[in-house]
Structure formats: C-alpha cells, structure tokens
C-alpha cells in the first residue's frame, strides 16, 4: 500500500524498464521492455568480486532490447554526449570511463573465467552506506 501511494504521487515521473510487467505498472508514464540475462550479452560482478561475462542464450522477445542499449539511446537523445553504444562491449567500455574500477578492462581481458577485482573495487561497488559483500 505504501508503495502504491508513492507511485501514485510520482505520476508523470515514473519510467519503467522491465522484463516482466504486472499490475503495479498502471502508474507508469513510460514502460520500456528490456531483455533478461538469458536474452543478452553483458557483465556482472559476483559476491566474490569476480567480474564475469555472460552470453545470450536465447532470442530476445518482441521489441525488448538490452537495458544498456535503452539507457544509451535515452542518453544520446538527451543532449551533447557520446553516441549510444551498439554492442555490450561498447557499453562496458563506457562503464570504464565512469567507474575507475573498470577502467582499462575490455571484454577480451575477462576471458572465460573473468577477473577478480581488488578490495578497493568491492568498496567502490558497495551499495551506498553499506558494506561490500564477501
């Protein structure tokens, strides 16, 4: 109920990027379908600070696109900025420009087993006000 009230109060400002849509989206002004991990290429950092790649396992449904692609298109259309990335590798390179912990790394560097990030990376990636997972 409290979440419903917050959504209703934010009417006109709610944009949803999602893979599964339910009744809670009735207050959204804009809903953008994005792919899930099985439908895209990408990277993630696991709880042991290992940066790894994952690979598309099945086709993306309908008009769904990877979240990195949608975000890139929105940013590219919002004013002077670099062009939107056209691949997951390009999106990862842009991430390295924003987050020093990923700077200089490429998809090729990750290989099959990924790369363990240091303690500084764990602190940089920890939720605000929280501790990094161990």
The region of weakest confidence among 3-7, 37-41, 96-100 is 3-7
Give the confidence band of 7 by pLDDT, cuts at 50, 70, 90.
low
Using a pLDDT cut of 90, give the percent of the chain over it: 23
Cβ atoms of 88 and 29 within 8 Å: the answer is: no
With a cut of 70, say whether residue 45 has pLDDT above it. yes
What's the pTM value of the predicted model, to 2 decimals? 0.69
Residue 96 in contact with residue 104, Cβ under 8 Å? Answer: yes
57 touches 43 (CB < 8 A): no
Residue 58 clears pLDDT 70, i.e. is over it:
yes
**Cα 116 from Cα 103, distance rounded (Å):** 14
Map residue 55 onto helix, strand or coil.
coil
Q: Is the pLDDT of residue 132 over 70?
A: no
């Amino acid at each position: 109920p409290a979440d419903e009230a917050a959504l209703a109060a934010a009417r006109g400002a709610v944009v949803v990027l999602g893979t599964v849509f339910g009744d809670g989206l009735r207050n959204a002004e804009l809903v953008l379908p994005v792919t899930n991990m099985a439908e895209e290429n990408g990277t993630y950092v696991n709880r042991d600070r290992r940066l790894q790649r994952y690979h598309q396992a099945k086709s993306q449904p309908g008009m769904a696109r990877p979240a990195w692609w949608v975000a890139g298109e929105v940013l590219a259309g919002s004013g002077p900025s670099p062009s939107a990335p056209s691949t997951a590798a390009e999106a990862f390179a842009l991430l390295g420009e924003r987050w020093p912990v990923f700077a200089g790394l490429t998809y090729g560097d990750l290989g099959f087993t990924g790369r363990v990030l240091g303690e500084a990376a764990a602190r940089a990636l920890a939720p605000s006000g929280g501790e990094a997972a161990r």
